[in-house]
Amino acid sequence: MSDQCPPGIDTYRQSDDVMFSAAVRAEQACRGSREMYEHQAAAGRFTQPLSADAIAFIGGRDSAFFATASADGQPYVQHRGGPPGFLKMLDERTVAFAEYAGNRQYISIGNLAENGRSFMVLMDYAKQRRLKLWGRATVAGEALLLARLADPAYSARIERAIVLTVLAWDWNCSDHIPRLVPAQAAR
C-alpha cells in the first residue's frame, strides 16, 4: 500500500496495514486481540497527527532506536543520539534528525536507498514511557534543513539528515520498562 491513501480507502486501513501485516493480524485473531486493534485503527487512533504530548516527548529525547530493512527484508536497528531535542518536528507528521559522523558502515542509509519503510522507538526510562513511530524515511542534505538540525553546543559533524514521515504511531505499554535514572540526576 502506498504512503498516501487513494480516494475511497479508509485511513484506518492504511495504519492497520502499516502496523500489522497479514500474518500479525492472523496471530492477533488467533490470540484474541484483533478485534480491539481493528476497532482502534477504525477509530483513527494510530493515524491522527502526532499529539502535543507525543511532540513534546519526541522533542525531549536524547536517544532513539531507528530501524530500517534492506529490499530483501534484512532488518537493522541502530541507536541514534544527540543532545536533548536532536529530534526535530518539521510538522505534525514529520520528524527529522541529524546523522552525525560515525562508524562509516552506512547500513541505515543504504537500506533507505532501496526501502524507505522505517520504524523508531523512543524511550523515557526514568518515566517508563515508550513511543513507537512507523513511517517512511528519506535521506536529505539540504543546507537549510541541516542548519535547522544543528546544535551549536554539540561538536559532532553532521553528514546528512534523516526525515521520517510518520504513517502510524502508538504509545506502548509501560510494562517491563526498567526504571532507569540518568547519571546526572542520580548524583
Q: Which domain holds residue 159?
A: 52-186
Which of 92, 136, 119, 96 has the alpha carbon at shortest distance from 2? Answer: 136
Rg (Cα) of the chain, in Å, rounded?
17
pLDDT in tens, 23-69: 889 999 999 999 999 888 888 888 888 999 999 999 999 999 999 99
Q: Are residues 126 and 157 in the same domain?
A: yes
Do 66 and 41 share a structural domain?
no
- pLDDT band at residue 5 under the 50/70/90 scheme: very low
How far is the CA of 41 from the CAs of 6, 32, 135, in angstroms? 17, 16, 16
Q: Are both 2 and 66 inside the same structural domain?
A: no
Does 32 share its domain with 98? no
Instruction: Based on the fold, state whether residues 20 and 33 are members of the same structural domain.
Output: yes
| Amino acid identity, position 61 | R
Q: Give the pLDDT score at 186.
A: 54
Write the pLDDT tens digit of every residue in 104-125. Answer: 899 999 999 999 999 999 999 9
Per-residue pLDDT, 43: 83
Task: Pick 182 or 14 by higher pLDDT.
Answer: 182
Q: pLDDT digits over 141-177, tens only?
A: 999 999 999 999 999 999 999 999 999 999 988 888 8
Are 80 and 136 contained in the same domain? Answer: yes
Residue 133 sits in the same domain as residue 172: yes
- What does the pLDDT look like over 134-146, one tens digit per residue? 999 999 999 999 9
Residue 32 sits at the vertex; the CA angle it makes with 29 and 33, to the nearest 5 degrees, is 85
Q: What is the pLDDT of residue 41?
A: 87
Q: What is the pLDDT of residue 89?
A: 97
- 8 pLDDT exceeds 80? no
What global pTM score does this model have?
0.86
Residue that the C-alpha cell 554539540 belongs to: 154
* Cβ(120)–Cβ(95) below 8 Å: yes
Query: What amino acid is encoded at 142 in this protein?
Result: E
Residues 120 and 163 in one domain: yes
**Both 56 and 43 in a single domain?**
no
Please give the tally of structural domains in the chain. 2
Indicate if 143 and 77 belong to the same structural domain: yes
**Residues 56, 42 share a domain:** no
> How far, in Å, CA of 65 to CA of 130, rounded?
11
User: Do 36 and 61 belong to one domain?
Assistant: no
Where residue 13 falls among pLDDT bands split at 50, 70, 90?
low
Q: Which CATH number do you get for residue 159?
A: 2.30.110.10
The model's confidence at residue 187, banded by pLDDT at 50, 70 and 90, is: low
How many angstroms separate the CA atoms of 83 and 97, rounded? 11
Asked whether residue 97 carries a pLDDT value surpassing 70, the answer given is yes
